[in-house]
Amino acid sequence: MLKLHFAPNSRAVRTLWLLEELGLPYELNMMAFHPKDLKSDEHRARHPLGRIPVLEDDGVIIWESGAIAEYILERHKNGGLKPAVDAPEFPAYLQWFHYCEGMVMPPVNTIVVHTLLLPEDRRDATVLGQAQRLLTRSLAPVDQALAGKEYLIGAFSAADTMLGHAAVMSNRLGCVPDEMTNLKAYTARLEARPAFLKADSFG
């Protein structure tokens, strides 16, 4: 049985969302988003940095949300929720899947740190402003790519559980401008999916 090490309001939601979309059985280790759980010896034995998500599968331990998604699709769902390698959508699928952690999450991280995590006297308005501008620039191509489409490559795919989750987080942080109408509609569409609602309900 797949075991997901999870904490609410984190990237682990995207793994849980994928498991729900695929209808795979899983066990959840619900942890607090707090050093007492994440930096415990027990969790550091699974992930050296004490981060989430972590997936366990019959002796395998794997971390990094993108790697976990690929692992699940290849080992447990015969490549479901992704286009075939020779399909025309495959390059865009790969691109958007990796754009999530590569380009969108770095400024999201900085924004979360400088609005929520750091004590107020250590928050830096300049750093925050830079990250907000970078995030808006990084989201613009996503908004453009969604014109006339329901999901990133047309049909819903695992790329949506990655970049779509980052888009939902960005929107909740107030960082998706109203002019990005495609992106706004996309986040609302994602947030209405039953599998997303289930994964997000732990938050």
Residues at the contact surface with ligand GSH, assessed by CB under 6 A: 10-11, 38, 50-53, 64-65, 101
Q: Which is nearer to ligand GSH, 177 or 203 (CB)?
A: 203
As a whole number of angstroms, the distance between CA 24 and CA 1 comes to 9
How near is the Cβ of 53 to ligand GSH at its closest, in Å?
A: 6
Buried b (16+ CB within 10 A) or exposed e, 20-35: bbbeeebeebebeeee
- 92: CB partners within 8 A, 6+ apart: 145, 152, 153, 159
Q: Closer to ligand GSH at the Cβ: 53 or 107?
A: 53
Closest of 186, 99, 178 to residue 141, by C-alpha: 99
Q: Which residue number places its CB atom closest to ligand GSH?
A: 51
**Cβ distance to ligand GSH smaller for residue 101 or 191:** 101
Q: Least distance (Å) from ligand GSH to the CB of residue 110?
A: 12
Q: How far apart are the first and last CA of the chain?
A: 23
Smallest distance, Å, CB 102 to ligand GSH? 10
Host H or E run for residue 63: strand 60-63
Compute the least distance from the CB of residue 199 to ligand GSH, in Å.
Answer: 13
CB of 111 to ligand GSH, least distance (A): 13
- Other beta carbons less than 10 A from residue 79's beta carbon: 12
DSSP class of residue 74 equals H
Say how many CA atoms lie within 13 Å of 19 toward its Cβ.
23
Q: Which is nearer to ligand GSH, 119 or 148 (CB)?
A: 119
